[in-house]
Amino acid sequence: MTATLQPPVRRRAAQAVPVRLERRLDQPGRIHSALLPVGSLLLAMVLVGVLLGIAGHDPFAALSQVVSAAVTGQGSISATLTSATPLLFTGLAAAVAFRMRIWNIGGEGQLYIGAICAAGVGIATGASGLAVALPLMLIAAALGGALWAAIPALLRAFLNTNEILTSLMLNYVAGLLLGYLILDSTSYWRDMSGPTALVYPQGKSLASAAFWPGFTGGGLIIPLGLVFGVALAVLVFVMIRHTWFGYQLRVTADNAQAGRYAGMASRRNLVAVMMLSGALAALGGASQVGDFSHLLDPSGLQQPQYGYTGIVVAALARYNPLAVVLSALFLGAITNAGLNLQSATFPQSLTGVIEGIILFCVLGGEVLSRYRFVWGRR
């Protein structure tokens, strides 16, 4: 009796369980959408506490110092409003563009261009008084920022160029132009009135009549630029929600093919949104000149990186123009606290790390609200 040979049994190699992201069929409701940023912030605060503990700080004591430096300390609210003013403009710029699926990363450079235009007009018309200088500074800044943002917009609309790369590269071009006007040339913006100015380059100051006035009361100072920013947030919200132009933008953002089928000019809307975003960011540069520095200051504009922080502001607000106001105040408080607590044990870079943690938590919550993790095969 012969035995039949059986083929060897092959064992299947262990395979990793695939994980993928799948879009949720049910969209989050209003209550869920409102609570999502709060939950993201709470998670960010927990992670910040862990970070402070690793850095050798008592998390509760450090957070108490941050609150005191940002809100409860003497003069802290006024300083927080000052820090929040440029973030409000750059946050609005990012929120408008990102809400319409246009990725404008050039708010930093557009702010520089707005400061250059506003400073030039303010120097030329400052002696005529605030009634003349203020509106002209605003118009010049908005026009300069809009035209600067039109460059990546036109490249995207007609040559299909990635606006992320072009707007980001233009930030460096604007920064080099800003430094050249004050540090490496004898331009109209540079002060050449004395020997000290020749050795230590600085911008030409506006006439005192062109300084933007602030609102004071009860020991609180509210910059005029902040008031303009809040008014613009309301106008942008009304424009997006309650106008025909805003309706076109929402339709083309959610479904570009449907917008084209309905006869909506997607290219024109793209350029218009990008120019509006650039104008908003540029008004932040005008506020920096008119409210605070009163001259064109390259280091003062470049070091804080207002344009990039504005992206965090917009993400935290979920691209809602009204929520951008609260988000700018929150991050302005963190920035102000970082400046006041800066020391050998609490470096300024730690504030940037905190802002980064907040951004990742907010974006992570945004992703999880629209998608879910699915384990296993389809």
Under a CB-based contact definition with an 8 Å cutoff, are residues 109 and 171 in contact? yes
What are the backbone dihedrals phi and psi of residue 342, each rounded to the nearest 5 degrees, phi first?
Answer: -60, 125
Under a CB-based contact definition with an 8 Å cutoff, are residues 151 and 277 in contact? no
Under a CB-based contact definition with an 8 Å cutoff, are residues 223 and 329 in contact? no
Under a CB-based contact definition with an 8 Å cutoff, are residues 288 and 301 in contact? yes
CA distance 328 to 153: 26
Instruction: Enter the pTM of the model.
Output: 0.85
Spatial neighbors of 320 by CB under 8 A, at least 6 apart, are 95, 237
Looking at the chain, how many residues does it have? 378
Q: Which long-range contacts (CB under 8 A, 24 or more apart) does 210-218 make?
A: 210/122, 210/125, 210/126, 210/127, 210/129, 210/130, 210/133, 210/134, 210/137, 210/290, 210/294, 211/130, 211/290, 211/294, 212/130, 212/134, 212/287, 212/290, 212/291, 213/130, 214/291
Write down the pLDDT at residue 29: 63
CA distance 194 to 189: 15
CA distances from 302 to 67, 107, 108, 181, 201 (A): 26, 12, 8, 14, 16
pLDDT truncated to tens, each residue of the chain (378 aa)? 455 555 555 555 555 557 777 777 766 666 666 677 778 888 888 888 888 888 777 888 877 877 887 787 788 889 899 999 999 999 999 999 998 889 999 999 999 999 999 999 999 998 899 999 999 999 999 999 999 999 999 999 899 999 999 999 999 999 999 999 999 888 999 988 877 777 788 999 999 989 999 888 777 889 999 999 999 999 999 999 988 888 888 877 766 666 665 656 678 888 999 999 999 999 999 999 999 999 999 999 998 899 999 998 998 888 999 999 999 998 898 888 877 777 766 676 777 787 788 778 877 877 777 777 777 655
CA distance 142 to 148: 10
Matching residue, tokens 């470096």: 347
